[in-house]
Amino acid sequence: MATQHILQVSELTKKVKFMLESELNTVWLCGEISNFVAASSGHWYLSLKDNKSQVRCAMFKGNNRRVKLAGNTVPRNGQQVLVRAKVSLYEPRGDFQLIIEMMEDAGEGLLRQQFEQLKSKLNAQGLFGQQFKQEIPRNINTLGIVTSPTGAAVKDIISVLQRRNPAITIVIYPALVQGQHAKEDIVNAIDLANQREECQVLIVGRGGGSLEDLWSFNEEDVVNAIFHSRIPIISAVGHEIDTTLSDLVADLRAPTPSAAAELVSQDNSELQSRLVELSKRAQHLFIQTIKTESLTLQTLNHRLTQVHPERKLQLYQQKSDELNIRLGTAIQRELERFRRTPEKLTKALQYCDPTKRIVLNQSQLSQLDERLKRGLQLSVKTKTENFVSVIEQLNIVSPLATIARGYSVTRNNKDQVIRSISQVEVGDKLTIQVNNGCVFTEVINKD
């Protein structure tokens, strides 16, 4: 004990909080909302749970203003959500909690999380590196298209090529672009084009849709097939606002299938289109650089938040909200107690009513009087019986009883009982007591 530092509770919570925040930092979590409370301060407090565990969470008003959930803007208990949060510890209670920074519906949110995770993984492997991009030939004779042969995308591409450069030969490699087997079809079509080596550029894409509809072009196998293709590939998936992993790994990304057709066909606007695309690629590279630097900034910012006044203020606000909730509960209990007080006082007053007290005392007095009378009677009876018994005992030993049986008692003139003849002399006067009187006599002789 002498060589060990004994921690205070507050020291321990600070150490645990630092370890949690520095080791885990930001996490993604999917779960069901329960125990949701919207505090008067604007902060949200809730629990996220699954069928085995739950964790307490707080989302401060600066972040929850941006939450937009399906059907409502305020979360509800039982709702499945995806959150990005920082792991932390609420020091006053020593409770493990999450500080939520972002919240969205679990369905599309999980796909977006998978997208970001796979994007980070593939980026770490170098698949998006600019040094691996192949140059798109300026003048081509044959163009390959990997898409659905009945979709709108292939029709748009053919229409643009016929208008801009009808001399280009089109080879369609049919593939499903949505559904369970779309991934295999796209990979096989790209491999087939590389085996045949009959086209100079491949356009891989489809029309617009939701994130789930476009998910085939976010599959790792498809990304790898595009990366390893010897034929330069232009990705043309969805609309301009849609971005897939195929767009990031492709040698060139077109906003739409029609734009991809324009990129591979020569016309007066080619230079401008290429300039726009290069600008987008530069923007993408700039964004990637910004993201890398943002990670560094986030780490530094995290260290700063440990001592930032706003963080402490949020902690105090959370504690204030908790105390406010507890105060409200306590006030309700006190009001309930005060509502019951008149009833208790009424019962106590009724119990202390003088009339009832007098009646009660009279009843007790009557009972005591009865007990006293019975006690006196019993005492007199007992003492009478004892007196009779003593009289009988006295009679048994009384000399009068002996005399009554025919005996007598003789006394001299000194009132001494004569027990021996030596006590009398001739001429002495004696008194003889019999049962019903005394006989006076004189000794005239003795033997």
Answer with the residue of higher pLDDT: 385 or 13.
Answer: 385
Q: Does some domain include residue 283?
A: no
b (16+ CB within 10 A) / e for 155-169 = ebbbebbeebbeebe
CB 153 within 8 A of CB 147: yes
Judge if 143 and 261 occupy the same domain: yes
Query: What is the Cα–Cα distance from 254 to 143, expressed in whole angstroms?
Result: 15
Using pLDDT thresholds of 50, 70 and 90, give the confidence band for residue 91: confident
Asked if residue 155 and residue 188 are part of one domain, the reply reads yes
pLDDT of residue 4: 67
For position 269, what pLDDT does the model report?
55
Mean pLDDT across 221-225: 92
Question: Does residue 158 contact residue 132 with C-beta atoms inside 8 Å?
Answer: no
Residues 103 and 148 in one domain: no
What is the number of structural domains in the chain?
3
**Residue holding tokens 């301060």?**
41
Residues 6+ apart with CB under 8 A from 169: 141, 142, 143
Assess if residue 180 is contained within a domain: yes
The verdict on residue 246 lying in a domain is yes
107/146 same-domain check: no
Amino acid at 162: Q
**Host domain of residue 100:** 9-115
Q: pLDDT tens, 1-55?
A: 455 677 777 777 787 777 776 677 788 888 888 999 999 998 999 999 988 888 8
Band of pLDDT at residue 107, cut at 50, 70 and 90:
low
Q: Choose the final residue of a domain: 245, 267, 289.
A: 267
Same domain, 193 and 86: no
First vs last C-alpha separation in the chain? 118
Neighbours of 244 (CB within 10 A): 25
Residue 326 has pLDDT above 80, yes or no: yes
Lowest mean pLDDT among 26-30, 203-207, 226-230, 263-267: 263-267
Q: Taking residues 214-228, report their average pLDDT.
A: 90
- Say if residue 258's pLDDT is above 80: yes
- Please check whether residues 86 and 187 belong to one and the same domain: no
Here the CATH number for the domain that contains residue 17 is 2.40.50.140
Q: Is 143 found in the same domain as 257?
A: yes
* Residue listed under structure tokens 């006076």: 440
Residues 160, 245, single domain; the answer is yes
Residue 74 has, within 13 A of its CA and on its CB side, a CA count of 10
pTM for the model = 0.42
Q: What is the CATH number of the domain that holds 219?
A: 3.40.50.2300
Write down the pLDDT at residue 50: 85
Residue 371 resides in a domain = no
Domain stops at, among 212, 242, 267: 267
Domain finish residue from 267, 291, 325: 267
SS3 405: coil
Q: What's the pLDDT at 268? A: 44
Q: Is residue 2 part of a domain?
A: no
- The 8 Å CB, 24+ separation contacts for 325-332 are 325/37, 325/39
For 77, the token pair is 């208990």
Residue 315 belongs to a domain: no
- Residue 40 resides in a domain: yes
- The tokens 């995308």 sit on which residue? 153
> Span 320-342, mean pLDDT?
87
Q: Strand order of the sheet with strand 437-442?
A: 409-411, 429-434, 437-442
122-135 residues labelled b (16+ CB within 10 A) or e (exposed): bbeeebbeeeeeee
Pair 13, 56 in one domain: yes
**Better pLDDT: 290 or 274:** 290
Length of the chain, please? Answer: 447
Taking residue 262's Cβ as centre, other Cβ atoms within 10 Å add up to: 21
Tell me the percentage of the chain whose pLDDT exceeds 70.
Answer: 92
Residues 70 and 150 placed together within one structural domain of the fold: no
What pLDDT band is residue 109 in, cutting at 50, 70 and 90? low
How confident is the model over 365-378, as pLDDT tens digits? 889 988 998 899 99
Q: How far apart are CA 388 and CA 58, in angstroms?
A: 97
pLDDT over threshold 80, residue 267: no
- Segment 202-225 shows an average pLDDT of 86
**What span, in angstroms and rounded, lies between the C-alpha atoms of 249 and 265?**
22
Are 156 and 61 in the same domain? no
Q: What is the mean pLDDT of the chain?
A: 84
Beta bridge partners of 149: none
Q: What pLDDT was estimated at residue 72? A: 66
Alpha-carbon torsion (421, 422, 425, 426), positive or negative: positive
Q: Confidence class of residue 191 from pLDDT cuts 50, 70 and 90?
A: very high
**Is 90 exceeded by the pLDDT of residue 316?**
no
**90, containing H or E segment:** strand 80-90
How does DSSP classify residue 6? P
103 in a domain, yes or no?
yes
C-alpha closest to that of 431 among 442, 444, 446: 442
Residue 68 has pLDDT above 90, yes or no: no
Contacts 24+ apart (CB under 8 A), 421-426: 421/446, 421/447
Domain check: are 148 and 254 in the same one? yes
- pLDDT-derived band of residue 284, with 50, 70 and 90 as boundaries? confident
User: How many of the other CB atoms lie within 10 Å of CB of 83?
Assistant: 24
